[in-house]
Amino acid sequence: MTNKVIEFMFPERKQPDKNMKIGIEIEGIYNQEIVGRIQKGYHKDPKNFVVEGDTTASEVWMAESDASVKCSSDREFIHPDSVEIISKPIKGKKKFFEGLDELKQLLTKGKNHELHKVLKFNKSCGCHIHFSFDDLKLNKICGYQPLEKIRKYFFKELLKLEISSEAKIAIKKH
């Protein structure tokens, strides 16, 4: 959604980008041989992103364990490990991209390594991006119909996945 759309629909919002917060969750497989061991918490207690041996923790990024990421079949990395990297809410587009640059610096050890040799993804990985605009609600912008279409599409695609029926039912209930 562009600033022009928000400005058109909500003319009272002078600087919509400054009111926007973005959060991201990235599930992936990282190469411990290059990165080192990332200190991770769990869903209720994520840890600020720090690699063992480093003294500086990120103010933006946190890391937690994610058992849903399957890295046992990985043959490219000698010591693969799964991680979910989570940003704190970042205010504004500019700060968000600065945060992504910081994460890249953390993972690539200050660009001493190429990102694709440090972090990769398979079918068990995912990414979630969250947007918020202070008091702005998505249903006020587009109504519920597009959201219902997205939901129906998601469940249609879910049926195609090669996972157990029990897992599909659990996802639908969640």
Confidence at residue 4, expressed as pLDDT on a 0 to 100 scale: 53
Provide the 10 A C-beta neighbour count for residue 35: 22
The residues of the chain scoring below 50 in pLDDT are 1-2, 5-6, 8-10, 13
Confidence at residue 2, expressed as pLDDT on a 0 to 100 scale? 47
pLDDT attached to residue 74: 61
Q: What is the pLDDT of residue 63?
A: 87
- Round to whole Å and give the CA distance between 15 and 22: 15
- Domain-wise residue ranges, the chain: 3-141, 144-174
SS3 85: strand
DSSP state of 117: G
Strands, DSSP E only, in the chain? Answer: 20-31, 47-48, 61-64, 80-87, 90-91, 119-120, 127-133
For residue 65, give the H/E element and its range. Answer: none
| 81-82-87-93 Cα dihedral, nearest 10 degrees | 90
Structure tokens at 134: 């202070």
Measured in whole angstroms, the distance separating CA 30 from the mean position of its chain's CA atoms is: 15
Give Cβ neighbours of residue 141 (< 8 Å, ≥ 6 apart).
Answer: 1, 9
